[in-house]
Amino acid sequence: MTEGWSRWPAPAKLNLFLHIVGRRADGYHLLQTVFQLLDWGDSVRLRPRQDGVIARLEGLADVLPEQDLAVRAALALRPRAGSELGADIAIEKHIPVGGGLGGGSSDAATVLLALNEIWRLQLSVDELAEIALPLGADVPLFVRGKSAWAEGIGEQLTPIDLPSRSYVVVDPRVHVPTGQLFQASELTRNTPRLTISGFLGGVETANVFAPVVRARFPQVAAALEWLSKFGDARLSGSGGCVFVGVESVEHARRIASECPAEFKAYCAQGVARSPLLDALREYRAKK
């Protein structure tokens, strides 16, 4: 398997809520959120090379390889591997770009974890998470591979047991630039802090970016309005995608089948453990 291509999942995530509770001295916003991992996402194929080259053979055409988080992840890991090891990378994208579902971060984490196995580096999860953080605040979540309560800039993670839910995720087909939202003057930056027990006990939560996105991106507002007919529809992260949780896959599929043509709907199951961890276990068993 290590002599040819191997295929690895890169799951999406939802932010079940997202509060900003303050700012650090360096200007970074302090968050509280819950990351719900999904059983659906991108697919990453990897093939080892012996010439030290990191090459992206498939991916987003409008993202330069040197700006691709998956490529940057491989380059960040390569010093641990020596100069002779490289990799070909091919990414099959399903997660909408700019949707707040963590697609680029998940692709990067998958590359880190899978190349750690393919290159036989034997780095620990903690070591990989340390490499992951400079790539993006969400990347350690996908490296650790468990749905989690998050604080700090999103990197302080506590695994959390969440009720089993199916989700309808709707893409309004709008790219929402995160940086623009964080700079918005109307953004709420002083939400009172919550506790995990408070969240699990039903304390009211929201996504502080939702009012900003609604006002600036009418297509997202329209998607939220439509999806709200079926439950508590919410924005995920600081992106454009919206979601609603329901009790069964069948219910999710019925809602998705009614999705207006201007949007695109996906069905997914919330999972406590990333499917990538199962893929890693199966890979080790075959070696």
Whether the CB-CB separation of 223 and 198 falls below 8 Å is answered with: no
Give the pLDDT of residue 82.
78
Write down the number of H helices and E strands in the chain.
Answer: 10, 10
Is the pLDDT higher at 63 or at 260?
260
Spatial separation of the C-alpha atoms in residues 178 and 100, rounded to whole Å:
9
Catalytic residue among 13, 68, 93, 107: 13
Q: Which is catalytic among the residues 42, 68, 107, 138? A: 138
Higher pLDDT: 171 or 286? It is 171
pLDDT category of residue 286 using cuts at 50, 70 and 90: confident
Say if residue 67's pLDDT is above 90. no
Q: What is the pTM of this model?
A: 0.94
Using 50, 70 and 90 to split pLDDT, how confident is the model at 2? very low
Q: Give Cα separations from 269 to 146, 148, 163, 171, 276 (angstroms).
A: 14, 16, 11, 17, 15
Q: What is the mean pLDDT of residues 122-144?
A: 96
Burial class of residue 45 in the structure, from the number of CB atoms within 10 Å of its CB (0-12 exposed, 13-18 middle, 19+ buried):
middle
Q: What percent of the chain has pLDDT over 90?
A: 83
Task: Write the CA distances from 4 to 88, 115, 261, 278, integer angstroms.
Answer: 10, 13, 40, 20
Q: What angle do CA 279, 284, 287 make, to 5 degrees?
A: 125
pLDDT, tens digit, for every residue of 212-233? 999 999 999 999 999 999 999 9
Give the separation between CA 20 and CA 243, rounded to whole angstroms: 20
Active site residue 107: no
Q: Which of 52-66, 98-112, 133-147, 186-200 has the lowest mean pLDDT?
A: 52-66
**Rounded Cα–Cα distance for residues 279 and 45 (Å):** 12
Average pLDDT over residues 201-210: 96
User: Is 13 marked active-site?
Assistant: yes
The pLDDT of residue 1 is 38
Q: Label residue 3 by pLDDT band (50, 70, 90).
A: low
Beta strands, E only, 54-212:
54-58, 86-92, 148-151, 156-159, 166-171
Q: How confident is the model at residue 182 (pLDDT cuts 50, 70, 90)?
A: confident
Q: Domains along the chain? A: 6-160 (3.30.230.10), 166-271 (3.30.70.890)
Token digits of residue 25:
């001295």
The per-residue pLDDT of the chain, averaged, comes to 94
CA dist 34 and 204 (Å) reads: 13
Q: pLDDT digit string (tens) for 250-260? A: 999 999 999 99
